[in-house]
Amino acid sequence: MSQQPKYKRVIVKLSGEALAGDLGSGIDQGVLNSLASQIAEVISIGVEVAVVVGGGNIWRGVAGSSKGMDRTTADYMGMLATVINSLALQDALEDKNIDTRVQTAIEMRQIAEPYIRRRAVRHLEKGRVVIFAAGTGNPYFSTDTTAALRAAEIEAEVILMAKKVDGVYDADPVVNPKAQRYTDLSYIDVLNKRLGVMDSTATSLCMDNNIPLIVFTLNEPSNIKKVVLGETIGTYVGRKKDD
């Protein structure tokens, strides 16, 4: 296969659960190192990479609020969890000599830059990985929405949703072994069928800005590289010709 990438600038959306690997919570160093290696592969062929990391392996705001915690407080705690994951990923990338910048939506200048769109774009143009942390900086918004928002702002061509499963299914494949995987979907399909690819706010933002999504598993080596080279894996979500 040609090493000419299909996409020049991408956002990789990582769930916190994916970083936990088989541990169930916390950060699996093996997963982290594998992810850093995959991103390094993509950087080596000239693709500009930004990353948005969830925090569910450490704390989920919705879960906290369901147990009686103030929703805003719980969500801010979730934002801080994404910063922990982002710093861990930055360390793993820099261990592989990949220049990396963490930008946070909530200022914490001792450990990261504040999010500034033009600065983020300049980092990408210089071949640095930019990790967007602390969500949007606002409660009630998920890191899926962060990925959609940042993709629109930096004009990313696609959002690569790296998960523990290998695509989008019509049912939970862990519970139902007969669940069928979709190869492609429209944004409207995702919304109408409530498929849980990402929340409705994020899906609508992607639809309004025509930002496609590719949902795939992190568990296969070089999957990120395969996606950016145009290989068909996982599930493609985007605008269909008749939409």
Domains of the chain from N-terminus onward: 9-238 (3.40.1160.10)
Q: Are 229 and 3 in contact (CB under 8 A)?
A: yes
Instruction: Classify the phi-psi angles of 51: left when phi > 0, otherwise alpha if psi is within -120 to 50, otherwise beta.
Output: beta
The binding site for ATP consists of 13-16, 56, 60, 169, 172
The answer to whether the predicted template modeling score (pTM) of the entire model surpasses 0.85 is: yes
pLDDT digits (tens, 9 = 90+) for 83-135: 999 999 999 999 999 999 999 999 999 999 999 999 999 999 999 999 999 99
Q: CB count, 10 Å around CB of 40?
A: 19
At residue 62, the pLDDT reads 75
DSSP 6: S
Residues of the chain with pLDDT under 70: 1-2, 240-243
Q: Are 206 and 151 in contact (CB under 8 A)?
A: yes
What the block records as the tokens of 47 is 């693709």
Q: What is the dihedral of CA 74, 77, 81, 84, to 10 degrees?
A: 180
At residue 242, the pLDDT reads 47
Burial class (CB in 10 A: 0-12, 13-18, 19+), 180: exposed
The binding site consists of 13-16, 55-56, 60, 75, 136-143, 169, 172
At residue 167, the pLDDT reads 86
Q: What is the dihedral of CA 210, 102, 85, 72, to 10 degrees?
A: -70
At residue 2, the pLDDT reads 57
Could you tell me which of 132, 44, 50, 121 has the C-alpha nearest to residue 86? 132
The binding site for UMP consists of 55, 75, 136-143
What the block records as the tokens of 134 is 């602390």
What is the average pLDDT value for the chain, to the nearest integer? 91
Catalogue the E-assigned strands of the chain: 9-14, 48-53, 100-104, 113-114, 129-133, 158-163, 168-169, 181-182, 184-186, 213-217, 235-238
> Is beta strand 181-182 parallel, antiparallel or unpaired with respect to 168-169?
antiparallel
What the block records as the tokens of 17 is 């659960």
At residue 241, the pLDDT reads 44
> Is beta strand 184-186 parallel, antiparallel or unpaired with respect to 235-238?
parallel
